[in-house]
């Protein structure tokens, strides 16, 4: 038996979809533990691209159990459309089962309306949300007024809770934002159709996972976003609305911490972020544009252009500490090919000369004032996409990887040299950690 957690070490978009897809081949159960449809995991198999927003990346493998855990906030329309799209493309394997936690909270139309209204009416800097209602849905969960997907199966209970919530949200929308109200009756009818479509998938997923663990099965816990978008440990307030660190794999699926054997941190060979927020290593226009173009850095969910920067090992080092990461999966290394001089951020310093090398300042104001401390390394020009062993990489590429290991204090277990599933150097199988 082995259970591993896969998390992002930066601000999301690190390539977790590809890593989970690779490890899913050895896993029996793949469980998503947080976030919502604001996540977008991109997988390329045999040149064909698949983008998943809610369903775990392991869905492309046959004879698996895929779980959407209780820590996820769920837009049922997006889930239904995703299931249909996979089946229409022949990508929902016959012997793979999908289950949705009966305790997962549902994103309602009023959540999306509130999300968009806040961004459009807000003054000053915007958070840069996707407008999909993720934050407001988590707010209702914490306020104990949210509606769980299992409750959609009880028409009377659903109607009772919906009526109260619509009354409150319409007051907020109309009186505070001067927006039009939502129609509770329309929502009720619409969501009952989703309940019928999803009924076969709704289950006690905590029980399912723990039963599989007792059988000695291998479990892969899949996170969304990245460590520095964590609601507690990220660059607040420019964060997501859930805990993205590895510890939430237990809370978000209903398992105990003693079952976790390893934590894999996915780390892009450079750094990107979407939306607002401080970004100390944000590169010059020339380098940023090159990384964006070669790396195709557009949000999988929103299509927004990602801000691009040099590798920030201070950021990754903190992620290693926060999630207890046992191995790093380095992605998009091929994007750096052809850059003569590469920079690595090893820490920050303030205008007053104070240095941060072991942690990222929690103060947004202070982090915005920080300047990166860089090391410079020679780049490489050779095509690395055909490499399947470390020995096949150019010397400068190997030096870059070794320096990242030294600075983060964590060894690589995987190096991705291209977008495809096969364009990967696997150094260690996490399911065989001891």
Which one is catalytic: 21, 28, 41, 230?
Answer: 41
292 contacts 308 by C-beta, under 8 angstroms: yes
Contact 111, 136 (CB under 8 A): yes
What is the enclosing helix (H) or strand (E) of 220?
Answer: strand 219-222
Closest CA relative to residue 299, chosen from 389, 378, 226: 226
Within 8 A by CB and 6+ apart from 407, the residues are 313, 316, 317, 344, 346
Element (H, E) at 309: strand 307-309
222: nearest Cα among 7, 2, 1: 7
Q: How far is CA 164 from CA 44, 60, 125, 147, in A?
A: 44, 40, 32, 11
Question: Which is nearest to 91 in space by CA: 60, 115, 112?
Answer: 60
53 as an active site residue: the answer is: no
What is the distance between the alpha carbons of residues 166 and 365, in angstroms, rounded to a whole number? 37
Residue 41 known to be catalytic = yes
Q: What is the dihedral sign for C-alpha 363, 367, 369, 375?
A: positive
DSSP 29-90: EEEE-SB-TT--EEEEETTEEEEESSS-GGGGSSS-EEEE-TTBEE-HHHHHHHHHHHHHTT
| Interatomic CA distance for residues 414 and 172, integer angstroms | 48
Marked catalytic residue, from 13, 140, 230, 334: 13
Question: Hey, which residues are catalytic here?
Answer: 13, 41
């Amino acid at each position: 038996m082995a259970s591993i957690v896969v998390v992002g070490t930066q601000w999301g978009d690190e390539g977790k979809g590809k890593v989970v897809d690779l490890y899913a081949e050895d896993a029996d159960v793949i469980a998503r533990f947080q976030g919502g449809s604001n996540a977008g995991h991109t997988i390329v198999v045999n040149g064909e691209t698949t983008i998943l927003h809610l369903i775990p990346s392991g869905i492309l493998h046959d004879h698996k159990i895929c779980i959407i855990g209780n820590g996820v906030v769920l837009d049922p329309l997006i889930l239904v459309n995703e299931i249909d799209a996979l089946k229409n493309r022949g990508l929902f394997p016959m012997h793979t089962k999908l289950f949705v936690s009966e305790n997962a909270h549902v994103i309602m139309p009023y959540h999306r309306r509130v999300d968009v209204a806040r961004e459009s009416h807000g003054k000053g800097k915007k958070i840069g949300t996707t407008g999909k209602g993720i934050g407001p849905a988590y707010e209702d969960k914490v306020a104990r007024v949210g509606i769980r997907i299992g409750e959609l199966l009880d028409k009377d209970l659903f109607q009772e809770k919906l009526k109260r919530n619509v009354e409150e949200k319409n007051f907020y929308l109309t009186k505070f934002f001067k927006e039009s109200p939502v129609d509770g009756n329309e929502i009720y009818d619409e969501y009952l159709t989703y309940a019928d479509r999803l009924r076969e998938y709704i289950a006690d997923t905590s029980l399912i996972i723990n039963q599989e663990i007792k059988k000695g099965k291998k479990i892969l816990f899949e996170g969304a976003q990245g460590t520095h978008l964590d609601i507690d440990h990220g660059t607040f307030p420019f964060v997501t609305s859930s805990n993205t660190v590895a510890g939430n794999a237990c809370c978000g699926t209903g398992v105990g911490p003693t079952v976790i054997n390893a934590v894999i941190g996915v780390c892009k060979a450079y750094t990107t972020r979407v939306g607002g927020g401080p970004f100390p290593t944000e590169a010059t226009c020339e380098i940023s544009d090159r990384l964006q173009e070669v790396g195709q850095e557009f949000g999988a969910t929103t299509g927004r252009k990602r801000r691009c920067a040099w590798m920030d090992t201070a950021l990754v080092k903190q992620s290693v500490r926060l999630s207890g990461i046992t191995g790093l999966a380095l992605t998009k290394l091929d994007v750096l090919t052809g850059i003569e001089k590469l920079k690595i951020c090893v820490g920050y310093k303030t205008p007053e000369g104070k240095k941060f090398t072991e942690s990222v300042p929690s103060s947004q104001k202070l982090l915005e004032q920080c300047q990166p401390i860089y090391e410079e390394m020679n780049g490489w020009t050779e095509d690395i996409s055909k490499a399947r062993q470390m020995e096949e990489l150019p010397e400068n590429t190997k030096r870059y990887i070794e320096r990242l290991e030294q600075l983060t204090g964590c060894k690589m277990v995987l190096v991705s040299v291209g977008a495809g599933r096969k364009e990967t150097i696997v150094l260690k199988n996490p399911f065989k950690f001891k």
